[in-house]
Amino acid sequence: MDTERFYKLILNKFSYNLSKLNFKQIIIQALELCLMIILTAAAVSYAKRDFEIPFFPRDAELNTVAIDITRNTTVAAAETEAPTEPPTNIMLVINPEHLLVEAASPSDEQADAEPDFEPLADLAALGFALSDAMYEPYNEDKINGRKFEIQRMRADISEAAAESGTAPDYSGVPVLYEYKFAEVIPEHTPVNSQRAVEPFMDYLLIRDGVTRAVLASAAGKIIDSDFVNSGFEILKMRDGEGRTVFRRTVEVEADEEAGTEAGLVTEYYIYNAGINAYEQIIFDELRGNRGADFMYPSDYGAANNNRDIFRGANGLWGYASVETGAQVIAPQYDRAFNFRENVAIAYRTTWTQWVQIGSQLFFFDENGTIINNNFYAPDPIDEETNHLGFYYFDHGLTRVIEKRVNPARTATVEQREFLVDKYWREFYTPVDYKIKAYSNGMILLEKDGNFGFMNYLGEWIAQPIYTYAEPFYEGVAVLGMINGKKMLIDTQGNIVAKMQYDHISNCTGGIIALFERENGWTILNKVRRVIPVE
């Protein structure tokens, strides 16, 4: 067969097979495939919330988000222990109100709505009183459960008292409270519309422009109408009795008899409401602060477990019996913290081969026995790290740093931060998220500039979608966008103040200051009243 005939035969066969193809069907199948690809891409984008469909609301969705995370898959009641085993992933239930698209730019209807907060005087008439205790969200089911427990306790006490012929003693029975935030109206009305209201622990500092500052109580009552010229400043610190500390610097003359030279002296005071005057105290800023500094929040109370912190003649800290004053733990630590949840924590700077390794943590039981000293804390002067969560147990957890040194023990070659429980088991947080703070049982987590809150049971209470966040203080925390609006949430993720404020201060001494460019400042104070159980 010559070449020409061979090519003709091949061409005829190809033409015959081509004529058998159904081009119409091929085109239809190709279009169906393209349509399927487009619909699949659209579904994925919608699931990622890249766009919204007005006539197709998301309310029908199950409010869950699948996140790859090493955490226990079981989340039970409030008594459940913190997760300690790391499976592959978990479906975390999210409070849908945290998305709050509308709150980011309030509508006209919202702007004309009733005020969000009731005046302090109105709530006082209903039995509420000022409080700086931990704010607790109102949960009817939880309240009813506690009521039943309290009623049963009271019944048992009454029965025992009747049998013994004595009067029942209910002093140890818990008390239920209802909490709110009330709007405080200061007695002093600044003449300058650009006023600044700043809360400091138990007080308000109200500024008129840049020349005048008025000190007011938490309820807005004027204490010092010319505070700016008083020479005092308010420290964000409390003394050993939990009182807010004031500081001033005065010039003293030389005293030949005492052997002192002329110069400047720093004095410390508290405000004594009983005599309406400042009262001088002895205070050490470095070691005497037992309050709301960056390491130890004020709402974590004073000493317990019958142990008190004391400073020895060597300038170091130890523990003593509250009743007898007898030394329980010798003063040998750079700083010591109060017992919480039956454990006390102190730290001491550790050196190896003339190199500072870090602030070694020591954990004690009430007998003064060291139960763990394998972990570290950040350097006390480290301003880049928020220290909240390192020096106390909170809901069974505390923050620690694990360090590994080189063989010569001359330097730290690796370190890792995490949370542990009282059995020294690691509490697993989401993969690639950094712990920024831990307080009130709430873990502030950050990844790539986005923040969210997870509670001590491993549940997200605020999705990690915010670019601005502050830790929890006294039961509430500020969330929002770094150059946008802010809101206030409680420990259940409920919104206390809508996302419409340009600035919200942290809660200190029960006081919060909120600022809106359009409406100025709003001052809130925490109030509570007893919930009857009978």
Q: How is 230-247 classified by DSSP, letter by letter?
A: S--EEEEEE-TTSPEEEE
pLDDT greater than 70 at residue 174: yes
pLDDT greater than 70 at residue 43: no
The pLDDT of residue 466 is 94
For residue 110 the two structure tokens come to 């919202």
CB neighbour class for 8 (10 Å; exposed up to 12, middle 13-18, buried from 19): exposed
- DSSP class of residue 104? G
pLDDT greater than 70 at residue 505: yes
SS (H, E, C) 380-414: CCCCCCCCCCCCCCECCEEEEEEEEECCCCCCEEE
- Residue 203 sits at the vertex; the CA angle it makes with 197 and 204, to the nearest 5 degrees, is 15
40 against 422, higher pLDDT: 422
Q: Is 298 within 8 Å of 291 (Cβ atoms)?
A: yes
The pLDDT of residue 111 is 37
Give CA–CA dist 182/513, Å, rounded. 12
Q: How far is CA 2 from CA 5, 8, 109, 529, in A?
A: 6, 10, 90, 108
User: In the chain, where are the structural domains located?
Assistant: 22-57, 306-428
24 against 149, higher pLDDT: 149
Average pLDDT of the residues of the chain: 77
Dihedral sign (CA 308, 396, 417, 506)? negative
Q: What is the pLDDT of residues 311-322, one digit of tens each?
A: 888 888 898 888
Tell me the whole-structure pTM to 2 decimals.
Answer: 0.72
pLDDT greater than 90 at residue 469: yes
Which amino acid is located at 202 in the chain?
D
How big is the chain, counted in residues?
Answer: 534
Q: Is 183 within 8 Å of 523 (Cβ atoms)?
A: yes
